[in-house]
Amino acid sequence: MQAHDILEPETSLPPATAAEPAPRHRSRGVVIGTGAGAVTVGGGAPIVVQSMTNTDTADIDATVAQVAALARAGSELVRITVDRDEAASAVPHIREKLDKQAVTVPLIGDFHYIGHKLLADHPACGEALAKYRINPGNVGFKEKKDRQFASIVELAIKHDKAVRIGANWGSLDQEMLTHLMDINATSKAPIDARAVMREAMVRSALYSAQRAEEIGLSRGKIVISAKVSAVQDLISVYRMLAARSDYALHLGLTEAGMGSKGIVASAAALGVLLQDGLGDTIRVSLTPEPGGDRTLEVQVAQEILQTMGFRTFVPLVAACPGCGRTTSTVFQELARDIQAHIRDRMIIWRQQYQGVEALNVAVMGCIVNGPGESKHADIGISLPGTGETPAAPVFIDGQKAMTLRGEGIADEFIRIVDDYVSRRYGGGNSMKAAK
């Protein structure tokens, strides 16, 4: 059988199709912060990456350092815990020190149980924050709940601040849940208890948001969330929220876990919702390793959005997984080093080179797919595999530009990448050919 017997004329080929995300859910835009640091969440704005510190907020210097590190990593909003008087009194000093460092990222205050009292007793704290986060499940109990919730909302109105009303699986409004469980128990067609809990989450968030509006908070100042720790529950809850409201939505899988478990669970849950067109801001809640880098959660959030094509943050490095042809660790080390180098340099590149975040780099390990993949990248290198000639061709804009040899391949390739960025994105000097 000949090839032409298999392939009919071009007209018989099916039309090209591509998976496309659903249109973005229409939500009300919320401006968080003022001046150069202002960030818009919802209303069709780009999906915002945010994170949270794990320092003691009362430790001003440690909190400033971590907020600055998160902001440099690309966190566009940073949440800090405000749990006691010492933390509340530290907030204005944290804001002041960040401003002196030209770190304009808006700060979000995370309030539980006594938020109404802390905001009332520390007005400078309320003024320094750009947004308040309150949980309707623990803002107060019984007769105090409505009064304390109203107090926080009124202070937000006074200071002209946005509010995130965040229901949480672990601290669900028990009065709401008990009421719905009782109704379900007497129903002619009762539903699963877990479904009742999902409904309670949605109602808790929406009821509280509507109550805030009744008190006088504009819908354009409200972000809502309903965080759970199971992927399928999260997907269901946010689909229900989106179907019933146009509030800006904060996405996040709570208690996602540590390492690969937390990353995979978050990516799976957020990926489905983002593909559905849902979500205006995201946070990836990773449990850090002891002494681990808090900025990892920012990197993962960025990579979810970039991998799915919603935003572009940093140049991507494509690298093969390795096989029996690549018993040397050279290409693995170079892929790691070039990715780390690019992330480090992005702090400067982002300011100097418009569009550099769209750069594609390939680091391949042998001749099987190496040259082809390298040609598809803006700049790529195909390293020698086991038993291959010790030479590494470099491809620039689809063309073979040079061949590197010797012990200094890694350092030389990094220099070539730097020169390419300068030439392409900054109008710098022409790239010097490697010898």
Q: Which residues pair with 225 in a beta bridge?
A: 166
What pLDDT band is residue 1 in, cutting at 50, 70 and 90? low
Residues 176 and 200: their CA atoms lie apart, in Å, by 6
Percent of the chain with pLDDT over 70: 93
CB atoms within 10 A of CB 153: 26
Q: Kindly indicate the confidence band of residue 13, based on its pLDDT and cuts at 50, 70 and 90.
A: low
pLDDT at 148: 92
pLDDT score, position 212: 96
Let me know: does 73 contact 99? Beta carbons within 8 Å.
no
pLDDT band at 433; cut points 50, 70, 90: very low
Instruction: Tell me the pLDDT tens digit for each residue of 182-223.
Output: 998 998 888 998 999 999 999 999 999 999 999 999 999 999
Weakest-pLDDT range from 7-11, 126-130, 258-262, 305-309 = 7-11
**Backbone conformation region of residue 406, classed left if phi is above 0, alpha if psi is from -120 to 50, else beta:** left
- What are the tens digits of pLDDT across the range 135-152? 988 876 667 778 899 999
User: Is the whole-model pTM more than 0.85?
Assistant: yes
Six-digit token string for 386: 């086991």
User: What pLDDT digit, counting tens, does each position of 296-314 carry?
Assistant: 999 999 999 999 999 999 8
97 vs 89: CA distance, rounded Å: 14
User: Sign of torsion, CA 43 47 52 58?
Assistant: negative
- Which residues contact residue 34 at a Cβ distance below 8 angstroms, ignoring those fewer than 6 apart? 130
Percent of the chain with pLDDT strictly greater than 90: 62
Q: How many CB atoms lie within 10 A of CB 37?
A: 19
Q: Is the pLDDT of residue 371 over 60?
A: yes
Q: At what angle do helices 85-100 and 60-73 cross, to 10 degrees?
A: 50
- Predicted confidence band of residue 14 (pLDDT cuts 50, 70, 90): low
Element (H, E) at 395: strand 392-396
Task: With H, G, I as helix, E, B as strand and everything else as coil, classify residue 188.
Answer: coil
Is pLDDT above 50 for 88? Answer: yes
Query: What is the end-to-end Cα distance of the chain in Å, rounded?
Result: 49
